[in-house]
Amino acid sequence: NSFIVIGGGILGASTAYHLALKGAEVTLVDRRDTGQATSAGAGIICPWLSQRRNKPWYRLVKAGARYYPELIKQLEDVNEKNTGYAKVGALSLHHDTNKLDKMEERAIKRREDAPEIGEITRLSPLEARRHFPLLAEGYGAVHVSGGARVDGRALRDSLLKAAKKLGVKVIRDNASLIVENSQVTGVTVGKTKLTSDKVILTEGAWANDLLQKLNIKVLVKPQKGQIVHLKLDIENSGWPVVIPPNDYYLLHFGEGRVVIGATRENDKGFDSRVTAGGLEEVFREAFTFAPGLADGEVLETRVGFRPFTPGFLPVIGAVPDVERLLFANGLGASGLTSGPFLGAELARLALGSETELCLEDYNVAGAIEKLN
Ligand code: FAD
Count of residues in the chain = 372
* Rounded Cα–Cα distance for residues 44 and 54 (Å): 19
Q: How far is ligand 1, taken at its centre, from the CA of residue 272, in Å? A: 14
What are the pLDDT digits (tens) for 35-52? Answer: 999 999 988 999 999 988
Cis peptide before 24 (omega within 30 of 0): no
What are the pLDDT digits (tens) for 90-125? Answer: 999 999 999 999 999 999 999 999 999 999 999 999
Q: Which of 84, 134, 117 is nearest to 242 (CA)?
A: 134
33 lines ligand 1 (CB under 6 A): yes
Residue-level pLDDT at 182: 86
What are the pLDDT digits (tens) for 297-345? Answer: 999 999 999 999 999 999 999 999 999 999 999 999 999 999 999 999 9
Q: Is residue 68 a part of any domain in this protein?
A: no
261 lines ligand 1 (CB under 6 A): yes
Of 262, 292, 307, which residue is a domain's last?
307
Count structural domains, the chain. Answer: 2
Residue-level pLDDT at 42: 86
29 lines ligand 1 (CB under 6 A): yes
Phi, psi of 350 (to 5 degrees): -60, -35
Ligand 1 atom at minimal distance to the Cα of residue 332: 45
Residue-level pLDDT at 372: 77
Q: Is residue 53 a part of any domain in this protein?
A: no
The residues with which 370 forms a beta bridge, in sequence order, are: 216
Q: Is residue 124 a part of any domain in this protein?
A: yes
Q: Tell whether 171 and 161 lie within a shared domain.
A: yes
ipTM confidence:
0.99
Alpha-carbon Rg for the chain, nearest whole angstrom, is: 21
Q: How far is ligand 1, taken at its centre, from the CA of residue 141, in Å? A: 30
Q: Tell whether 331 and 268 lie within a shared domain.
A: no
Ligand 1 atom at minimal distance to the Cα of residue 35: 3
Q: Are strands 140-144 and 90-94 parallel, antiparallel or unpaired?
A: antiparallel
Q: Average pLDDT, stretch 207-223?
A: 95
Residue-level pLDDT at 238: 87
Note down the domain range covering 320. Answer: 2-39+153-220+310-370
278 lines ligand 1 (CB under 6 A): no
Ligand 1 atom at minimal distance to the Cα of residue 29: 20
Greatest mean pLDDT among 236-240, 252-256, 341-345: 341-345
pLDDT at 247 over 90: no
Q: Tell whether 175 and 288 lie within a shared domain.
A: no
Question: How does the average pLDDT of the chain come out, rounded?
Answer: 96
151 lines ligand 1 (CB under 6 A): no
pLDDT at 62 over 90: yes
Band of pLDDT at residue 246, cut at 50, 70 and 90: confident
Determine which residue's CA is closest to atom 4 belonging to ligand 1. 9
Helix, strand, coil % in the chain, rounded to nearest 5 = 35, 30, 35
Residue-level pLDDT at 184: 96
Q: Which of 240, 27, 32 is nearest to 156 (CA)?
A: 32
* Rounded Cα–Cα distance for residues 264 and 251 (Å): 17
- Residues 317 and 326 sit within 8 Å (Cβ to Cβ): yes
